[in-house]
Chains A and B, each alone.
Chain A
């Protein structure tokens, strides 16, 4: 899928006459897509269990509305307002999780109900109107940049330095992992491919940071994203909790008979989705600088599409956080590229649909070829 992403990027870079990778547009790409990526991370866990969460778009709107009431109408200080908002997101997720895990209602139905319930409650709270404006600091989450004006050759120094540090960290971790895998006779990429991968990723990191540096520096939301992605990659790959989610998705009965507390795992996966929806809700509210009844419409489908384009399996047990991010970016670049080119919204939808279909076909095809190991 990374190859598809690169292809799409080059494709639009040419078609848009080089606008796609202009510093301002790269920054825009990050800002525009942050919410899909945040939701995608949570959605991935739901999909790994073999289910989906249809309610996230509505929960995004609901959380935005609640935060507007707390911080605009009631004038609550921002830290307290944000904390309460996140807790409400967690509560909403737990509400779904309770029905799914303990009453064994199929997640599709529970979250379909959630989608209606929380969209409705959003309208009730907002009385059909838009609430604005938010405090500057809320706007900054979605649209602000790291402070500091130190420049190197016209570039924001902090961004450049962060890029270099990340590159070094990446190279070290890759080589370390490779050595470890070799020690246990695990399959490793041929050295040439491994080096190519490292060069590409380092290139991508620095291209991103230098591009950002040429505009306004590092967006704060990028830091939030980086922390979330790292955290959830760690959880899914290295922790007992992550292992339990994959085991549950791969074979629930076997997982239960192996001592995995399957109900509890299901509960927390959906509670977590609520929490991430709340984060995404705050980001959306900050970006629009308003809470509106229509916020977040269709977000659940963007998040689900990101997971599937990123290689997650609809039957559960398979999928990675990084894959989901790549999938989300594929959608993001498509949106952005087509908008720059002036493709009408109707055609954008059609093309996105076709790409989703093609991506999953490609995935199924490559899997059927490689699974005979």
Chain B
């Protein structure tokens, strides 16, 4: 029988007016991968912040024990000294320092304050080998991809003699291949005596690697499931997370598809940092009224770049190609052109590109539509408030009031604010880039319902998503994008994960052959 390594006993944590955790108890055993799942706001991150000392001893009730000893951490330093390392969703690496420097940041290989660079590089090489990252330790963090950065974070944790590794949504920004690699690494670390707590929304990953799964809902532990063969599947976990059975993860849509409203012909765009390189190559596609069309593809296939290039040339240089709306050629050289022509783009990165976090809900929603609610440059605040209130109600944005700052909303509600902003701009063509990224199952369903409603209103919707089941569940037609090109098109009937992957593989084979030939 395995020994408990971490025991949480009756942990309760209050924020002003909100109980984030209520009497949480659970145990993590030595040498297991323990998954922590739950909707956004269920209390997963709060719990892990207690374990890692971000919330110091005394700011919560209850106690927890690490390797049998009660922990009274005052800060992260204390928890790291004990052997607990947390890797946050937003990576904490310094972009213009090298891999080796980052690994030993705060823990420098030094004698009397003078860094021993040889030792640093040698040790870094060993650690990189352990995590399976083939990079020169002197490479800058800025020059490697997110997936590799994640591995550097883990190497950094290993350098601190970690016993318990906590990963908060480690695969959120990774593609399938990188995710798999990371999960394999966790399994391997387990065999070398490193216990992991994995927080993830991606239930397929959880069921793949976790030994046990603890479900949190509304700050309470619902249950801990043993992930043995055949007993636990995704639906079972979802049911426990939301407290009810979700019969259908994708709401049905019965909308007649109308005329073509939007067409892109021969779009070619070059990389702004390397003007020789075409990132988007001769892309053509069309959208019809009331239709939801998907862009499938791997991370980095160029889907976001296509969308942003269409949206007022927000990406890239030397744009070529023609855009038609309702059969007429239109000019969209700036974002305001795009808005005027009825094109809206809901970004994949709502915090950096979608919202002004320090502003309130009302001003965020109205930001793209100020022209329509003002006269001679003066904003009609009554109208603004009324309209913003309507969107709050119709999109079910949970908030204290329209004057609440959006930075204090949950991910799902923030996403609804971004959606509200673009619905208010009243577009005919709505491009949704990863509209459900990082939001929980319940909120996802609500977003899908909103998408269906918009389609029913006759808008043409282009949906970019890295979650294939979501595309298959929502789209009438799917374009497969790979390496900046459209490699194929699938009707709803033909669309399946296998067919999408086949198209991508075939295209890559062709590319390789043409390179070889």
| A residues lining the B interface (CB < 8 Å) | 180, 184-187, 238-241, 243-244, 246-247, 250-251, 253-261, 317-318, 371-373
Contact = CB atoms under 8 A, between A and B. Distances in A.
B401 A247 contact: no
B243 to A, nearest CB: 27
Interface residues of B, number: 41
A258 B377 contact: no
Contact of B356 (A180, A185, A247, A373): A247
Q: Top 5 A-B pairs ranked by shortest CB distance?
A: A250-B356, A251-B356, A240-B370, A258-B367, A258-B368
A253 B352 contact: yes
A185 B401 contact: yes
Contact of B374 (A240, A254, A259): A240
Nearest to A373: B408
A240 B345 CA distance: 21
A257 B347 contact: yes
Contact of B352 (A244, A247, A254, A317): A254
Given A239-B378, A240-B371, A254 B356 contact: yes
A104 to B, nearest CB: 13
Given A184-B402, A243-B379, A373-B408, A251 B374 contact: no
Given A180-B382, A257-B354, 18 more contacts: A186-B402, A238-B381, A240-B377, A247-B356, A247-B367, A251-B355, A251-B356, A251-B358, A256-B314, A257-B353, A258-B335, A258-B368, A258-B421, A259-B336, A261-B334, A372-B15, A372-B16, A373-B405
Contact of A372 (B314, B378, B389, B408): B408
28 contacts: A184-B385, A184-B389, A185-B401, A186-B401, A240-B378, A243-B366, A246-B359, A246-B363, A250-B356, A250-B357, A250-B358, A253-B352, A254-B355, A255-B356, A255-B367, A256-B335, A257-B345, A257-B347, A258-B335, A258-B367, A258-B421, A259-B336, A259-B368, A260-B367, A261-B334, A317-B359, A372-B408, A373-B404
A260 B338 CA distance: 12
Contact of A247 (B359, B381, B385): B359
A180 B339 CA distance: 31
Contacts of B408: 371-373
B512 to A, nearest CB: 36
Contacts of A372: 15-16, 408
Contacts of B234: none
B403 interface: yes
Nearest to B360: A186
B229 to A, nearest CB: 45
Kindly name the residue among B377, B382, B421 whose own CB sees the greatest number of chain A CB atoms within 10 A. Answer: B377
B374 to A, nearest CB: 5
B422 to A, nearest CB: 9
A243 B367 contact: yes
Contacts of B352: 251, 253-254
A288 B421 CA distance: 52
B353 A239 contact: no
Contacts of A261: 334, 336
B316 to A, nearest CB: 14
B336 A253 contact: no
B17 to A, nearest CB: 9
Q: Considering residues B339, B385, B405, which has the most beta carbons from chain A within 10 angstroms of its beta carbon?
A: B385
B400 interface: yes
Q: Choose among B314, B359, B402 the residue with the greatest number of A CB atoms under 10 Å from its CB.
A: B359
A240 B376 CA distance: 9
Nearest to A317: B358
Interface string B322-352: 0000000000001110110000010100001
A257 B314 contact: yes
Contacts of A318: 358
B169 to A, nearest CB: 22
A365 to B, nearest CB: 16
Contacts of A251: 352, 355-358
A252 B321 CA distance: 28
B377 A239 contact: yes
Nearest to B311: A257
Contacts of B366: 243
A111 to B, nearest CB: 24
Interface in B290-336: 311, 314, 334-336
Given A239-B378, A239-B379, A373-B408, A254 B335 contact: no
Contacts of A373: 400, 404-405, 408
A49 to B, nearest CB: 13
Contacts of B368: 258-259
A256 B334 CA distance: 10
Interface string B381-392: 110010001000
Given A240-B374, A318-B358, A254 B379 contact: no
A207 B347 CA distance: 53
B85 to A, nearest CB: 27
Contacts of B402: 184-186
